[in-house]
Structure 1
Amino acid sequence: MANIYDMRRYGTVVFLLIAVGLAVLFLCISDNIVKKLAEQERQRMEIWADATREIANPDAASDNIDFLLSIIQSNRNIPVLLTDDEGNILDQRNFDLPEPPDTLDPLYISPVNQAFLNNRLNALRNTSKKIVIDIPGGESQYLYYEDSRLLRMLGYYPYIQVVVMLVFVVLVYFAVISTKKAEQNKVWVGLTKETAHQLGTPISSLMAWMELLESLGVDADMVKEMNKDVTRLSTIASRFGKVGSKPTLEPANLNTVVSDAASYMSTRISSRIHLTVDCCHGPLMVDLSDSLFQWVMENLIKNAVDAMEAEGSITVTTGRSDRNAWIEVADTGKGLPRNRFKTIFNPGYTTKKRGWGLGLALARRIIEQYHHGRIYVAASELGRGTTFRIELPLMSLPIKV
């Protein structure tokens, strides 16, 4: 099952890389189109400059003047500035001037418009959008131009599309992830409740059989031990039934709950595994569901036992910070690589040949969703062991004596 999460992680990376690759490809294609349009506008400006040069030529045929003027007047979308050798503006076209031009004298440029055009001219002098027009007689004129409004819009449009596409990909990705998590939650909740339901009938039958055995005079100690196991089965079924339903939280001393869970597990693990509990001084009062929290502790201790292969030590420690109580379960097992710190809490993840891989997934659900706490791998080193840490909010700030 571990490979499923590896494939999912790699698949997510591949999906994001493909999305980014498509965005870059689209940007390159659009940028190429913009460059070609810019080249076409440059060619139009060179034709405009040639027409201006011919008009200024005293030897130009009069029959061509109208044609040349039509070329100049046909430019209605590319902003153009024509200057002399001294930088004086001789003509301007297609600029959005701050003040409307004088309709009575179209050649007149108001001081406000003049300042505006001078600023644009200064900006254009340091660009490549300049064409030198050599006028017969040794004079020169300079044609400066800007990108047309359409070209500027096309220049921004690819970036806008890329951003929209990336936002869409991100939204789709998180929507899919959220849907998968919701489906997983439904599956696990349904599975646990069905398990509790299926256990109910044989447990009831076992209880009846225990009463019959007791009435038949079977050894009392034997019946007592069997009753403990049946009661234990009933507790397990009750725990499964509570998954998916909001449990009732009651004030409890975390030290007591942890000690009880460790005491129960100490008689059910190998004698070659040394289990110790180190509780902090003073009570750790928290709101919790005793049965569900003990289930979490038992799962952590069982995982520690499996990691050590029946030999080693487990240390359970409690303590407090400013606002939280914490529990650490440390083992001397085989440890975990860092890239497994979060994966091990995924439903279905397991490194064992048996089991469904639900223990730590349910533990995280119990701690985070029901008790509003945190559970995570605090530390791990291959060949040295792993430490799990649980943090729960204290009912009140600790009183310092």
Structure 2
Amino acid sequence: MTYRRQDVGVFKVISLEGSWRDMGRAYGESMRQELLDFYRLGVEEHLMGQLGRSQEDLKALGGGFFRCYPHRFKEFVRGMAEGSGMELWRHLALGALEVAAVESLVGHCSCVAAWGEYTGGGPLVVGRNYDYLPRFKDYGRFINALCLRPADGSVPVCIVGYIGTFYVTTALNGAGLFLELNNGMPSGGDLWYQNRIPNTLSLLSFLLDSSSLEEMEAHFLSVRAAFASVVTVCDEDLARCYEWPVFDVKSSPVVRPGLLVATNHFTNPNWGLPEPRDERSWYSVTRRNNLINLADNLKGGIDEDVMREILDTRIEDLGATSDYTVYQVVGSPKNRRLWLKVPHLTGWTRLDLAEHLGV
């Protein structure tokens, strides 16, 4: 079992190698104080204190998700509880924080990937806004990059997310596959199958078991979603997007060769769906059109620096970033590098992850 911690600005890069139980135990032990602090702020003060969620309610919610976890992920969470000294149900409540905090349907999130002519022949670069409840801006200091190198031969994965929340909405694996998830309910409906593995855990499995876009696509074609999502996957040369409701999956077409933009609605015409109205889709259409226009105007010169400028452009300035943007990521899959930013807390912070991913 090996463990390494690196503080980069406000962000923590945690690198673990070993069995799933041992990695969880080491994470829980080393991050005990941060886990306690985040639990008190997110669960006790926010969910219980402000929203009135009861302990029994949170136990049922977290336990319901946990029942569907694949065994290896259960082992990590159990190890985390052993290492931290916190009861397992408290870890599960923390893991369910984003779902438990929802008072109304909230989604947003945007992604833009550029390659080929849009990067002037340079490597693919991808940017994503993670949009959620404004309250989550208070949790910016609890974001970490958790790098896992399992002893079972899986592909190493770096997960970007909140401390103690073991699932994927943004991640990069050792094979150079970047993945990000957006809410797809404006087109796919709000059904949620609680007897299916949550998408956020299925995506972690996909990354652990894939070293190419072809392998990743095979997973999407084989697994039913628990809730509607729009998922972008990139390697160093190409990006693909999957529109993934609970009953099917289809690829989203690229905007033009070298440019893919994804927000919250489906764009594959074979669904037969009308374009949603902005007020019913968190301005999904406007955000998508704005990102397309920005990319077109910058065609031929989009690199990591320019992608950060694109994400820095607010929606009122014809970009996609808004007061709902709680953190942002720019990725270079070829270089195994990410840039993270929490608006109103940090500037762009560079994370070089090749060594952490065993590359």
* Bigger strand fraction: 2
TM-score range, shorter chain: under 0.3
**Normalised by the size of structure 2, how large is the TM-score?**
0.25
Q: Greater relative contact order: 1 or 2 (C-alpha under 8 angstroms, separation 6 or more)?
A: 2
Q: Which has the higher helix share?
A: 1
Q: TM-score normalised to the size of structure 1?
A: 0.23
Larger Rg: 1
